Amino acid sequence: MKLSTNENQTLLDKRIEYWESFEHYDGEIEEFKSMIDSVCDAETSLHIEDTDEYSEISSDCKTLVERLKSVAENSNQLKDEINHSHNLIFELIESGANIEGEIKKAESNIKTCYYLFFLIIPLLFIGRYKKRKLDLQAKLEDKDKTKTELKAKIFAAKDELEKLKTSFSEKVISIEKLITDYFINELNRFAIKTKEQLIKKSVVNYYDWDEAVWSKWTEKDFKINSELCIGKFQEKRTNLSFNLPALVPFIGKRKTIILESATGNSNQAKSLFESLIMRIALTLPHQVSYTFLDPNGLGETFSSIAKDVEVRENNGDTYRVLEALMEDTQRIIATYGLSKQRPFDSIADNILINEKFEMIFVADFPKQYDRREIELLQRIANNGPTAGKYVFIHHNKNFEFPRELSMDIFESTYALNFNNLNQYGGGECELEFIPDSKPNEQIKKVLIEKLKNSKPPERKVEWADEIALEKDNWWLEKAIENIETPIGRSGSSDKLNIWFGAKQSEGGRPCAHGMLAAMTGSGKSNLYHVLILGLAIRYSPAELSMYLIDGKDGVEFQSYKNLPHAEFISLKSQPKLSRSILDELLEEKERRNNLFSDHGVNDYVNFKKKHPKEVLPRILLLVDEYQELFEGDKDGLASNTLMAIAQQGRSVGIHMFLGSQRFNVVGMLHQAAIMGNIHMRIAMKMSLSDRQALTEFGKEGKLIIGNCNLPGKAVINDQSGDDGANQFGKVAIMTKPQRDELIDQLIVKSKESEISEDLLTTNIFNGSEQPDLLDNPYLNHLIKSNDWLSENELQDFARKELHKGGLGEPDWFSGEQPVTGWLGQEFNVRGYSKIIVRRRQRENALMIGDNNEARFGMMLSLITSLVLNHKTERNVFYIIDKTIKGAPWNKALRFITDDLLSPLGISVKLISKNSEINDIIHQIDQELEQRKQSEEPEEEANIFLLGADLDKSDDFCQVPNKYGTMEDSELGKLLQKIFTNGPSKGIYSFFSFESVMSMLNVISKRNIDFFRHRVALQMSEDDSFTFLKKRDASRLQLDGKKPICGFYIDINNNKSSFFKPYCLSDNLYQQISEIGQTLKNR
């Protein structure tokens, strides 16, 4: 049986169909390979340059290709099986065709022979050919049989081919599922690996806002990126969530980013703006500030984000803002020596000292921007990246530029056209570009809160690097012409210096005084510390002396109580004390002028050159919160004194450094005259209103001060604020441990030096606390002496002027056996309130007040200081204690007796019983009578009769006479005899009462006159007038209960003082014990 042409063609078509099917799947495999290769190469088109981080991803892609090749090899084996079946079929077809040809040939021969024999020799050969015919017919029958068998084989082959087709289809489906599953798994794994690699670069630059990873953001994610995410490329052929970040050039690429839109899609561009602002803030936490320009929308474009980031102040004048940006750009470039080859981002953090990147976002450009503003913006965009300033412009194409201007003026740009976003996708990976949008309010709130609570990175200027000296180089500087110290760094190598005096190398240019304006939190206190210690290690106490005055709420200078250079330290200073310091300096100015006149010179420099060995240190007065000088100064005395020192202080070596939150303060008169001599002007962070009101700096300086946005940043100008002399930098950090260690080292050095003890004496005043007994320098002078001072030594010490470390008492004569007792610290520079009694009439003292801690604290300090005047055998104490038993102060007099007087071998009797009191008074009366008869009463020991609350003994209280009026009791009359006649014989009475009424029960009004020295605590106006003949004691606590204040008056010469009394405390008891131990070792 013969196959028809149609059947052959069908069979061939099937073979071609299956063959093409294999070619189709070969093509699919190659397409998958191509897609993987394209994904591997995607980073090139997306500006991802760090190829090392993608090595693992590339390896995964190669593995996928190898597995696809294995699938292809399996497919080739299947193709070989099908080819073998096809070849068998073709062999059968060709075999059937050959047999059919033989049959046709035989039939033709038979016909030919038949005709030949029929025509030529029909008879001769007819028999033979019949037989041949029969044979051929038999063969033909065999052929038909063979054809039938062959046809059966063909049908069997067709059945086998159908089975192969079915098997092949099943294998193809299996291969398709295998390839699809493998591709999906590998692509998902590839997506995970991609994210793992991308997160190593920066969380904020590679994740959508809805990703959970944002909850893990910390400030440690800080990284300067050369790309910035503006959206993502999404793989869109499948339902896979595979995407890659879409990046634009950022830091270091010097590009201006332009978002082009029309009015219809401008909101999408503005949403991307907010996303970029957030991403940058989180990429550079605390390292970036912003400038927002939106003159068309009046700032509305940025209103939802501006409150959450650091924004340059904008008063609505776009040109002024751009002008400030340009000047800041020029400042940064000049300060750090920047260029395109050495841009901002290439400079080490420790050099940039907290300079920040700045991002300028421009909305709806160019609407409402004039030609000047556009040209200035162009300059900033083109040059700003050198100084770390990058510009982002929303170009609204619906608005026209001024004539002859266009976006072409921006030199290096990267534009994103929101009018045709489809142009950014496509490619072999068939990626779709989706621009970023602003984060939702919930995630924004969380991230802003985390950003605010994060700790800014510290870029410190270290003391050790900029200010410190080797110890061998300490105190080598001379203060003849000036004093100077670095306090920080400016730019990459210059130092920030503060100096006072004159510089002969610059034609004698002066810098008389300085002033600092800085708001709270700006680093003002740290600047003080660096200045003080920077000078202290360069100049010895013989070259420089310091007066350190804190405001009434300050304790910044407490650490310097033992600093060798500190002559006076006042903490929490009341205004009246601060003013007294100015008075002291004014007096010192006059003393120095007189000294110079005596030596034929006219100023400090010439005196020091003429007398180089004469010890006369320069004086630096440092006052924090100097505006308090003028509080309550109705007569303007502080302003007058300040002006006199400002104008004449430099010539005598006195310099002031005044600090406050602003330069001009309320209450200061003669501002022009004073500021005219303030050459050194320093500004740190200031409020906008204070900065705008500045007249102490020029235009350039005011703009630079605006960059003092972090603690430690400062602008220093040593030429009265003139432009061109501004130096911007950062003050070195000085930690408390560093400060304390350095002070200890300076104390050790001072002890090793040959500097006079007088120069190393520090007067300390704390305006809110009671004074410490051992802070009294005069008392310390007596304590530290190796032996008891002789009468002549004591006289010399007493007569020496206060500013030279003496008592300033020219009326001290050793023949009168004067003794001093200290009560507390006066509200002035050197004063310590004291009672000096000598062998004269009325040299007795009364102390009245209901504050028992102060009253008995003064009694203990008085007894302690009386002991220090003379050798122990020269003192005798009788102490009558009638205080309430169990009261906290009841133990005070027992303590002083047992812990100080008795251990030193001083004759002392402490009595409280009435019978004993009577005996003691009679004993003292007898001693008085003996001394009256003595030819040399001055040789007798001093007797101190101290009585506490004598009114609680009825024997002392006045009694009514027969006329009904009050008069002294019998014992009271003996007491009166003692305080009336005793002082001239060396018997002194010191009595203490709770109130004036209590005193009057023992001492009548007429007898008060025998008490020259009177001490009052707070009391009523009437009591004050009765006791003091003035009302001052009624106004002691006007500023509050702390500190406790006292008033002392010497009735004879009307000399009075306000002071802070020594008060009972554990510290006072401890100090008295220490004094006793020191004296025992003599």
Which of 794, 800, 818, 767 shows the shortest CA–CA distance to 986?
818
For residue 730, give the H/E element and its range.
Answer: strand 726-731
**In terms of domains, do 126 and 101 share one?**
yes
Q: How many percent of the chain have pLDDT more than 70?
A: 83
- 79 pLDDT band, cuts 50/70/90, is low
Number of Cβ within a 10 Å radius of residue 692: 12
Give the Cα-Cα-Cα angle 750, 758, 611 (nearest 5 degrees): 90
Number of domains in the chain: 4
Instruction: Using CB atoms within 10 Å of the CB of residue 723, give its burial: 0 to 12 exposed, 13 to 18 middle, 19+ buried.
Output: middle
In a domain, 326, yes or no: yes
For residue 889, pLDDT over 90 is answered with yes
Q: Pick the residue with more confidence: 769 or 510?
A: 510
Q: CB-based contacts of 860: which residues, under 8 Å, 6+ apart?
A: 892, 893, 895, 896, 1062, 1064, 1068, 1072
- 416 pLDDT band, cuts 50/70/90, is confident
For residue 1025, pLDDT over 70 is answered with yes
Q: Pick the residue with more confidence: 883 or 104?
A: 883
pLDDT value of residue 80 = 58
For residue 764, pLDDT over 50 is answered with yes
Q: Pick the residue with more confidence: 155 or 842?
A: 842
Q: Pick the residue with more confidence: 532 or 78?
A: 532
Q: Pick the residue with more confidence: 809 or 29?
A: 809
pLDDT value of residue 592 = 95
Model confidence pLDDT, tens digit, residues 91-113: 545 554 555 555 566 556 555 54
pLDDT value of residue 577 = 81
Q: Which of 43-47, 172-176, 311-315, 874-878 has the highest mean pLDDT?
A: 874-878
Rounded distance between C-alpha atoms, residue 833 and residue 159, angstroms: 130
For residue 820, give the H/E element and its range.
Answer: strand 819-826
What tokens were used for 736?
A: 């408390």
**In terms of domains, do 20 and 112 share one?**
yes
Query: Tokens 């040109």 identify what position?
Result: 319
For residue 1021, pLDDT over 50 is answered with yes
Give the Cα-Cα-Cα angle 665, 765, 1029 (nearest 5 degrees): 90
pLDDT value of residue 119 = 46
For residue 510, pLDDT over 60 is answered with yes
Which of 385, 447, 392, 459 shows the shortest CA–CA distance to 221?
447
Within 307-417, where are the H helices? 318-336, 349-352, 371-383
Tell me whether residue 44 is annotated as binding. no
**In terms of domains, do 432 and 297 share one?**
yes
Instruction: Using CB atoms within 10 Å of the CB of residue 156, give its burial: 0 to 12 exposed, 13 to 18 middle, 19+ buried.
Output: exposed
Q: Given 152, 170, 204, which residue is the final one in a domain? A: 204
Q: Given 402, 428, 453, which residue is the final one in a domain? A: 453
Extended beta strands in 87-164, E state: none
For residue 446, pLDDT over 50 is answered with yes
In a domain, 232, yes or no: no
Rounded distance between C-alpha atoms, residue 294 and residue 361, angstroms: 9
For residue 65, pLDDT over 80 is answered with no
Q: Pick the residue with more confidence: 882 or 81?
A: 882
Q: What is the mean pLDDT of residues 179-194?
A: 71
Model confidence pLDDT, tens digit, residues 634-686: 889 999 999 999 999 999 999 999 999 999 888 899 999 999 999 999 999 99
**In terms of domains, do 927 and 1063 share one?**
yes
In a domain, 688, yes or no: no
Tell me whether residue 523 is annotated as binding. yes
Please report, for residues 164, 440, 562, 626, the alpha-carbon distance to residue 13 in angstroms, rounded to integers and kept in the order given: 15, 61, 110, 106
Tell me whether residue 1046 is annotated as binding. no
pLDDT value of residue 1032 = 94
Rounded distance between C-alpha atoms, residue 107 and residue 574, angstroms: 146
**In terms of domains, do 181 and 268 share one?**
no
Model confidence pLDDT, tens digit, residues 330-365: 988 988 888 988 899 888 776 776 788 999 999 999
Model confidence pLDDT, tens digit, residues 705-741: 888 888 899 999 999 999 989 998 899 999 999 999 9
In a domain, 689, yes or no: no
**In terms of domains, do 413 and 488 share one?**
no
Q: Pick the residue with more confidence: 642 or 422?
A: 642
pLDDT value of residue 990 = 98
Model confidence pLDDT, tens digit, residues 589-641: 999 999 999 999 999 999 999 999 899 999 999 999 999 889 888 889 999 99
Tell me whether residue 146 is annotated as binding. no
- 769 pLDDT band, cuts 50/70/90, is confident
Give bridge partners of residue 416 from the DSSP assignment: 259
Tell me whether residue 653 is annotated as binding. no
Q: Tell me the one-letter amino acid at 993.
A: F
Q: What is the mean pLDDT of residues 790-794?
A: 91
Q: Helix, strand or coil for residue 568?
A: strand
Q: Helix, strand or coil for residue 385?
A: helix
Q: What is the mean pLDDT of residues 224-245?
A: 75
Q: What is the mean pLDDT of residues 184-196?
A: 71
**Is 729 within 8 Å of 353 (Cβ atoms)?**
yes
In a domain, 678, yes or no: no
**In terms of domains, do 261 and 192 share one?**
no
| Percent of residues in the chain assigned helix, strand, coil, to nearest 5 | 50, 20, 30
What tokens were used for 239?
A: 């339902």
Of 448-462, 476-490, 997-1011, the least confident? 448-462
In a domain, 521, yes or no: no
**Is 499 within 8 Å of 679 (Cβ atoms)?**
no
For residue 664, what is the domain's CATH number? 3.40.50.300
Give bridge partners of residue 680 from the DSSP assignment: 514
Q: What is the mean pLDDT of residues 498-513?
A: 93
**Is 557 within 8 Å of 571 (Cβ atoms)?**
yes
Which of 999, 1072, 1016, 1014 shows the shortest CA–CA distance to 851?
1016
pLDDT value of residue 209 = 81
Q: Pick the residue with more confidence: 106 or 955?
A: 955
Of 440-454, 656-670, 844-858, 1035-1049, the least confident? 440-454
Rounded distance between C-alpha atoms, residue 409 and residue 383, angstroms: 13
Rounded distance between C-alpha atoms, residue 831 and residue 825, angstroms: 6
Q: Pick the residue with more confidence: 564 or 207?
A: 564
pLDDT value of residue 48 = 38
- 3 pLDDT band, cuts 50/70/90, is very low
- 704 pLDDT band, cuts 50/70/90, is confident
Query: What mean pLDDT is reported for the chain?
Result: 84
User: Residue 341 — φ and ψ, nearest 5°?
Assistant: -80, -20
For residue 142, pLDDT over 80 is answered with no
Which of 520, 500, 519, 523 shows the shortest CA–CA distance to 510?
500
For residue 150, pLDDT over 80 is answered with no
Of 151-160, 506-515, 585-594, 815-824, the least confident? 151-160
**In terms of domains, do 499 and 406 share one?**
no
Tell me whether residue 520 is annotated as binding. yes
pLDDT value of residue 240 = 54
**In terms of domains, do 872 and 912 share one?**
yes
Q: Given 695, 717, 752, which residue is the final one in a domain? A: 752
Please report, for residues 27, 161, 597, the alpha-carbon distance to residue 21 in angstroms, rounded to integers and kept in the order given: 10, 15, 118
DSSP 872: G
pLDDT value of residue 84 = 54
Q: What is the mean pLDDT of residues 153-166?
A: 75
Tell me whether residue 518 is annotated as binding. yes
Query: Tokens 């909101």 identify what position?
Result: 267
pLDDT value of residue 1035 = 93
N- to C-terminal Cα distance for the chain?
148
In a domain, 723, yes or no: no
For residue 25, pLDDT over 70 is answered with no
Model confidence pLDDT, tens digit, residues 241-269: 667 788 889 998 999 999 988 766 778 88
Query: Tokens 């984000």 identify what position?
Result: 305
Model confidence pLDDT, tens digit, residues 511-544: 999 999 999 999 999 999 999 999 999 999 999 9
Rounded distance between C-alpha atoms, residue 420 and residue 402, angstroms: 25
- 425 pLDDT band, cuts 50/70/90, is low
**In terms of domains, do 483 and 393 share one?**
no
Q: Tell me the one-letter amino acid at 783.
A: I
Give the Cα-Cα-Cα angle 927, 932, 933 (nearest 5 degrees): 100
* DSSP states of 27-56: HHHHHHHHHHHHHHTHHHHTT---GGGGHH
Q: What is the mean pLDDT of residues 49-59?
A: 45
**In terms of domains, do 444 and 472 share one?**
no
Instruction: Using CB atoms within 10 Å of the CB of residue 90, give its burial: 0 to 12 exposed, 13 to 18 middle, 19+ buried.
Output: middle
For residue 428, pLDDT over 50 is answered with yes
For residue 47, pLDDT over 60 is answered with no
Tell me whether residue 101 is annotated as binding. no
Of 166-180, 516-530, 747-761, the least confident? 166-180
**Is 977 within 8 Å of 1026 (Cβ atoms)?**
no
**In terms of domains, do 316 and 190 share one?**
no
In a domain, 823, yes or no: yes
Q: Which of 623-632, 778-787, 847-856 has the highest mean pLDDT?
A: 847-856
Domain extent for 37 = 5-204
For residue 516, give the H/E element and its range.
Answer: strand 513-517
